[in-house]
Chains A and B, each alone.
Chain A
Amino acid sequence: MAAAEATFPITRRRIGLTLILAALGLLFLLLLYALGTRVPGSLEGRPAPDFTLALFDGREISLSDLRGQVVVVNFWASWCSPCRKEAPLLEEAWRSYGDRGVVFLGVDYVDTESEARAYLRQFGITYPNGPDRGSLIGRAFGITGVPETFFIDPQGKVAFAFPIPIDRASLTAALEELLA
């Protein structure tokens, strides 16, 4: 009886310790998960995350296939007013710089297909565009809204990131610097 009484507090302490350790382990795992899924900071100077875009016209384009070319990735949505303002500018730049080897890619972020297609028709967009299925591309680029524009150099690194609507001067300056 005396022996049983002597061992009881030790067993109880061991159970308590196990519970605390298990809770801490669980918290640690949750922390690791949260760190793994956190939104990246600015991508400028870092390799652009690779992605494959299923285009509205049925084709597919992978960013890695465009290595050696300057790529402009623009995130947009049909419901976004600033996107509507910059859409004609982007199309105009594509028509001017497409011949110089610049590729424009439009990534339609959190949108509905019929409205997105109507938007592309309305602004006469001719460069490749596709929906960001599952918002995976937007998440990989760490976008916080639309529009956002990324300029990727021929080595596949993000040279400039514009987490804001882009204007003609910035667009031209970024492209000229990358083509120089």
Chain B
Amino acid sequence: MLARTPLLVLLILFLSATAVLAQGGIEETVKEIAESLNCPLCQGLTLYDCPLTICEQMRGVIREKLVAGESRETIVQYFVEQYGEEVLNAPPKSGFNLAAWILPFVGLLFGGAFLAIVVASWLRPRSSHPAREMPAPPEGRDPYLDRVERELEEL
């Protein structure tokens, strides 16, 4: 009986360590999921950062569901069903929300095209746009330049 005691202690220690490690893993996943979701009541805060009671409750739900063996996708889907798509930190890639993914690239494309046109117009020799050329200086002396020179001399 006495010989078995160290083995028993070792077994208990091993099981405790496994439980602690598993808990740490779960907490890390809770953090990851909570960071991918928004607080349903405030603007710009994730479920992980928000100090509101509801967010604390929601983090508790994530923990419970992970312990119950639910997958990350199922948990996120549950929150979308409960609180709407706004709870997602990134909009889903479907329906109108697809615009949020496509529009930045469309913007880049349009911006790039606009820049290309502007740069092309800068690089084009001015002679191809006679209408835009500066008017030729009038013949003879410029009265304005004369006045500047006179005033400089007076100084």
Contact = CB atoms under 8 A, between A and B. Distances in A.
Interface stretch (B17-25, B53-61, B66-74): B53-61
B90 interface: no
Given A12-B117, A15-B113, A110 B96 contact: no
Contact of B52 (A19, A79, A135): A79
B114 A112 contact: no
B84 A79 contact: no
A179 interface: no
Contact of B81 (A5, A110, A112, A134): A134
B117 A77 contact: no
A133 B40 contact: no
A9 B103 CA distance: 29
Given A19-B110, A115-B57, A134 B84 contact: yes
A16 B80 CA distance: 42
Nearest to A37: B96
A26 B58 CA distance: 37
A164 interface: no
Given A16-B117, A112-B54, A135 B81 contact: no
A112 B52 contact: no
Contact of A112 (B57, B80, B86, B103): B57
A110 B84 CA distance: 10
Given A15-B117, A19-B114, A135 B40 contact: yes
A62 B122 CA distance: 66
Interface residues of A, number: 23
A19 B110 CA distance: 7
B113 A134 contact: no
Q: Which 9 A-B pairs have the closest CB atoms?
A: A79-B53, A134-B84, A112-B57, A110-B40, A79-B54, A135-B84, A112-B61, A115-B57, A19-B110
30 contacts: A5-B128, A9-B129, A12-B121, A16-B114, A16-B117, A19-B110, A19-B113, A19-B114, A22-B110, A26-B106, A33-B96, A79-B53, A79-B54, A79-B57, A110-B54, A111-B57, A112-B54, A112-B57, A112-B58, A112-B60, A112-B61, A114-B61, A115-B57, A133-B81, A133-B82, A134-B80, A134-B82, A134-B84, A134-B85, A136-B84
